[in-house]
Each structure stands twice: as structure tokens, then as C-alpha cells.
A and B are shown apart, each in its own frame.
Chain A
């Protein structure tokens, strides 16, 4: 082609492009949700985009608002455990045990050491459960579907362990005020040993797929970053805050349930981006496995419940023979046990951060006011700030790395 012809074509192209710019000069609005394959849960984000770059976003939540706090004002104290199941349903035993510990603090009950160690094992299994979902879903959102299938099969092993203890897989209703409803049996120990032997190998395989994978690292390093000061200002907690560089873990700061007996490290990231969140959760899974091993090795003998007959159901044989046991059984089941008056705030380290229970009791059969401090609700506010200036695919990845669980978001 001659030089003049090339110049003509180039000029024509530039003119056409300029005219397109003036016609399509406005910004576009893209609706990410509420039903979207990549948002795991129902949240709506209306993005204002310039090409692929996100300038602003408006969030709508509340699509699964089930009025937990209003229901809690009606239910007797032992029935609220079933409500707490459905907050962060990926790690429901942690919510259950947190609620039971709040009640035990209110009534002034001290549980035996064996119960503490059993609770630690169950809570760490639930934490592994939650982090496995989050990490495999980060893999899925970058396009790596294999990790998802590997890890979900391992989660079935954890579900079987929960079934041995309480009979349910997901919404476990695990704990009772005062301890557990039954002790761990032989099958549980066998399955737990098998899990602790088999799982680390599969987990290492998953880690090898993603952790040092060039594509994964390119996609996740730098996306959805938040600095430690902004994260603290937004009241972040849990793995998201630890990835930003602040080592706040409720298990270390306000130890509950004999966590001070165990030796574990709290992984902390540096940039607060998606890669750091992924790695923090990976390391927390390894630390949880170590805690479970320590708890199993050091498990003390004893009863699996504390001596609080007003709250803990007596054995059924006693109910048939003993008058007192019959009365206690009746009162607990009908929910007529009196509870001391007071207000208490108690928190545990949930899968996503500090899960708190603010309870005001007026001595009646149901709480006067129960408020759940839900970590997801609080840190999801920072999402527009985290995705500003990034592309749409980064926004999707940031959302899945923050592990926003819809049940905890909307309560």
C-alpha cells in the first residue's frame, strides 16, 4: 500500500473513532445481580463503568432478610441455637457454640475441660469447612473448577463427622447450654483419624494447583486491595482484616473455651488483596488441623456436660424414675426456665471474623433483645471502595474472596 493511502485510512479511522466517542460519551451502568452466577448469594451491585473500569457502585442487600432478631425475642433460650445455625451456615457449629457460651456466661456456669476440648475440635472442623468453600470458590471464579470438586469431596468427610456428633450435616444445632448432648463415640474417633491422615495430602494437591500458579497469581495479586487503616476504620475482622496486616483474632485476644492451651500461629498478610486473603485462609486451615491434633492428643477424661440441671436435659432414664429430673425436663422443654437479669456481650472467632452476641435478658423465658454482631454485614460495606478502579472480572473475584455469606449478611 502506498504511504498516502495508509495515511488516508489512518485518518479516516481516527475520525470515525472520535465521532463514536462523542456519540457514546456517557458512562454505562451494569447490574451485577441480584441473581448472578458469580455472586454466591443474592446481592445486587449496580456498577457505573467506563469501558471495563469500575467507577462507582451502589449496593442493595436484604434479599434474604429473615428477621432473626425479631424471632429471637419470641423463642426460649435453648431454641435460639437453631436460629444461630442459619447465620453463617457454612460453619454453623461455631455459631451454635458461641451462643451456648454466651448463655453460660450469663448464668455463670463453668463447663468441664473435656467439653472445652470437644468444642475446640468441632469449631476448628467447622472453620476448615468454611475456608474450604471460600478457597475453592475463589478458584472457580478464576476458572479453575478442579479444586472445587476435590475439596467438596473432602467436605463430605467433615459432614460425616458432624453427623456422628449431632445427626445433621449443615444446620447442626450442635451444642447445649452446659455441654454436649452426647459424648464422641468410637466411630467419630476412627473417622477423625482417617480425616486427619487423608486430608492433608489432598489439600497439598489443591495448594499446588493454585498457590504458585502463574495465572492465579496474576489475577489475584493487587485486586481488591484495602489498607490496614481503612480496614480498621470499616471494622473489618477475621481473615479479611488479617490479610490487610492487623493480627486481631478473638481466640488470642479474649481466649475462650481453653484456646490458651493450644499452640498455633495467626497468619497475617501484607497487602490486603485477594491473594493475601486466599493465603491467609490456606494457612488457617493448616493451623486448624494442628489444633485438632493437639486437642485430640491432650483430651482429658471427664463428663461431657456441666452440672446445670436447670438448663441441661437430664438423662432419659432419670426422667422416668426421678421426680426432680421429670420437673427439670418439663421446664426445659417447655422453655420456662428462669434466667438471671442482665446484659452481656460475648464474641467468638467465626469463619469470617468476630461473631458477637449482645443479649439483654429481663428474666423471662425469651431474650428481651438479642443482637447478632455479624462480621459479613460490617465488612461488605467496604466493597465499593475495594473495587474502585478495577475491572469487572476483578470485582467478581474480590467478592468471592471476601467470603460474603448471605445468611450472615441479612440475618
Chain B
């Protein structure tokens, strides 16, 4: 076989070519598969979360290899464990420090609704202080359930409209929690 030479003057489209898609789908896919979670683990659900991070259930294959402990660099706030009334202002401060877009996953019965602790010192659900996107029930939930919750977060993230965080409805929702919207 002889060598094939291309005429230098002819313009050809070489390589992989073009993909045609929507911008928000690309951004959604990129965001969903590279979420940086902030584990806010307080009690027993925190140990199950650590087991989810371990090699048997492996959260890293979903892009969550790096746990960000700084709220400024995190996308997903994972609240696992009981939140007491003493801790609620701390949780709110951490949520306010996160920059948009941000999502919240509430792991366990105590974070979702107070759980078995219907007492004077336990906050009956974190949705009294911050908006929550996905709730994972269980006491504690199995790692597979936590993974299911994260899959639901991925679904929310990849389908989110790019204009949502600037829309007036979102700001109104945040104001019901007395949270100032970040710009």
C-alpha cells in the first residue's frame, strides 16, 4: 500500500467531529458526576456514611472522591445524624457559607424529622432551618439506601435549569428560612 497524502489546501474536518446537545445537559452531567460533598456527620448515621465511603460501597466511583470540609468549596451538604437545637445555628451558618449551586441531602430519620428523639433538645428535622433536597429515611439507613439518595441527588442536579438559582421563586423559598440568597 502506498502512502496517502492529503492536499494541504483542502479543509477537512478531522478527528472526533461535533456533538450537538444542550448546554444545561452538559453542565448538569458535569456537575452531577463531580459533586464535592461536605459530610456533616454527627452520630450513628455518620458511621454508616463512613462505611459508604469505604471500599465496599465506594462513594468514589460517583465522583465523590474528595470530601470537602470547607463549605466554600462544597456542592453537597450531607447531614447525617441527629441535629440538636444547640447545633442548629452552626448548621445554618455552614449552609449559608456554601456558594450556589448547593444541594442538601438529609441522611437518617433524625436529620429528616427528629427520629426517635421527640425531646426538648432535638431539632425535629433539619428542614426547620435549611431547605432540603433529598431525604433518606432509616435508622441508620443501609449504605445502599444512602447511595440511592445520592442517585436521586444526581438526578436533581443533572436536570436542574441553569436559571433556577437566580429566579425569584428560589429567593422567596430561601427567605422563608430567613436565609439571604448568595449572589
A and B touch in the complex (CB under 8 A): yes
Residues in A lying within 8 Å of B, measured CB to CB: 34-37, 40-42, 62-67, 70-71, 82, 85-86, 89-90, 133, 148-149, 152-153, 155-156, 159, 169-171, 406-407
Dominant SS at the B interface?
loop
Interface contact B54-A149, CB-CB below 8 Å: yes
B94 near A170: Cβ-Cβ < 8 Å: no
Q: Is B25 an interface residue (CB 8 A)?
A: no
Q: A41-B43, A63-B86 known; 9 other A-B pairs, CB under 8 Å?
A: A64-B43, A64-B87, A66-B82, A85-B44, A152-B51, A156-B56, A170-B44, A170-B47, A406-B43
**Are A406 and B122 closer than 8 Å at their CB atoms?**
no
Shortest distance in angstroms between A71's beta carbon and chain B's nearest beta carbon? 6
Contact B50 A86 (CB under 8 A): no
Q: Which of A36, A42, A89, A171 has the most chain B CB atoms closer than 10 A to its own CB?
A: A42
Q: Which residue of A lies closest to B51 (CB)?
A: A152
- The distance from the CB of A57 to the nearest CB of chain B, in whole angstroms, is 18
B69 to nearest A CB, angstroms?
Answer: 4
- Indicate whether B81 reaches chain A with its CB closer than 8 angstroms: yes
Q: Are B142 and A407 in contact (CB under 8 A)?
A: no
Smallest Cβ distance from B36 to chain A, in angstroms?
A: 13
Known contacts A149-B55, A152-B51, A156-B56; is-contact A171 B140 (Cβ 8 Å):
yes
Which listed residue (A37, A63, A170) contacts B140, Cβ 8 A?
A170
Are B50 and A171 interface neighbours, CB within 8 A?
no
Query: Which of chain A's residues have a CB closer than 8 A to the CB of B56?
Result: 152-153, 156
Question: Whose C-beta in chain B lies nearest to the C-beta of A66?
Answer: B117
A63-B84 contact given A149-B54, A170-B140, CB 8 Å threshold: yes
From residue B165, how far is it (CB to closest CB) to chain A in Å? 24
B115 to nearest A CB, angstroms? 9
Query: Distance (Å) between the CB of B140 and the closest chain A CB?
Result: 5
Binding site for A on B (CB under 8 A): 40, 42-44, 46-48, 50-51, 54-56, 67, 69, 81-82, 84, 86-87, 90, 94, 116-117, 119-122, 139-140, 142
How many angstroms between the C-alpha atoms of A173 and B67 in the bound complex?
Answer: 31
Question: Of B44, B120, B121, which one neighbours A171 at CB under 8 angstroms?
Answer: B44
CB-contact partner of A89 in B43, B51, B116, under 8 A: B43
CB distance from A213 to the nearest CB of B (A): 21
User: Per a CB cutoff under 8 Å, which of B42, B51, B120 touches A64?
Assistant: B42
Q: Which of B44, B87, B94, B121 contacts A86 (CB 8 A)?
A: B44
A64 contacts across to B, CB distance below 8 A: 42-43, 81-82, 84, 87
Least CB distance from B77 to A in Å reads: 11
Q: Smallest CB–CB gap between B74 and chain A, Å?
A: 12
Inside 8 A of A34's CB, which chain B residues have their CB? Answer: 87, 90
- Expressed in whole angstroms, the Cα–Cα distance for A148 and B81 within the complex equals 21
**Contact B116 A82, beta carbon cutoff 8 Å:** yes
Given A64-B81, A155-B51, A169-B142, verify A35-B119 contact (CB < 8 Å): no
* Complex CA distance for A170 and B90, rounded to whole angstroms: 27
With both beta carbons as reference points, the residue of chain B lying nearest to A37 in the complex is identified as B69
Q: List 29 A-B contacts (CB under 8 A).
A: A35-B40, A36-B69, A41-B46, A42-B42, A62-B84, A63-B84, A64-B42, A64-B43, A64-B81, A65-B86, A65-B121, A66-B82, A66-B117, A66-B119, A66-B121, A71-B117, A71-B119, A82-B116, A85-B44, A89-B43, A89-B47, A133-B47, A152-B56, A155-B54, A156-B56, A159-B51, A169-B140, A170-B48, A407-B43
Instruction: Report chain B residues within 8 Å CB of A159.
Output: 51
Given contacts A66-B117, A71-B117, contact A169 B48 (CB under 8 A): yes
- Do B84 and A86 touch across chains, with their CB atoms under 8 A apart? no
Contact residues in A for B116 (Cβ distance below 8 Å): 82
Across-interface contacts of B120 in A (CB, < 8 A): 67, 70
B68: nearest chain-A partner, CB-CB? A37
In the assembly, what is the distance between CA of A124 and CA of B106, in Å?
A: 33
**Of A37, A41, A63, A153, most B-chain CB atoms within 10 Å:** A63
Min Cβ gap B53→A in Å is 8
A149 neighbours in B (Cβ, 8 Å): 54-55
Q: Which chain A residues lie closer than 8 Å to B142 at the CB level? A: 169
Which residues of B are found within 8 Å of A37, using beta-carbon distances? 67, 69
Q: B50's closest neighbor in chain A, by CB?
A: A152
What A residues does B69 contact at CB under 8 A? 35-37
Q: How far is the CA of A406 from the CA of B81 in the complex (A)?
A: 11
> What CA separation (Å) do A159 and B47 show in the bound complex?
12
In the complex, the answer to whether B86 meets A152 with C-beta atoms within 8 Å is no
Interface centre among B43, B50, B90, B139 (most CB of A within 10 A): B43
Shortest C-beta distance, B144 to chain A (Å), equals 11
How far is the CB of A231 from the nearest CB of chain B, in Å?
Answer: 27
Cα–Cα, bound, A64→B90 (Å): 12
- For residue A82, which residues in chain B have a CB less than 8 angstroms away from its CB? 116
Contact of A67 among B47, B50, B119 (CB under 8 A): B119
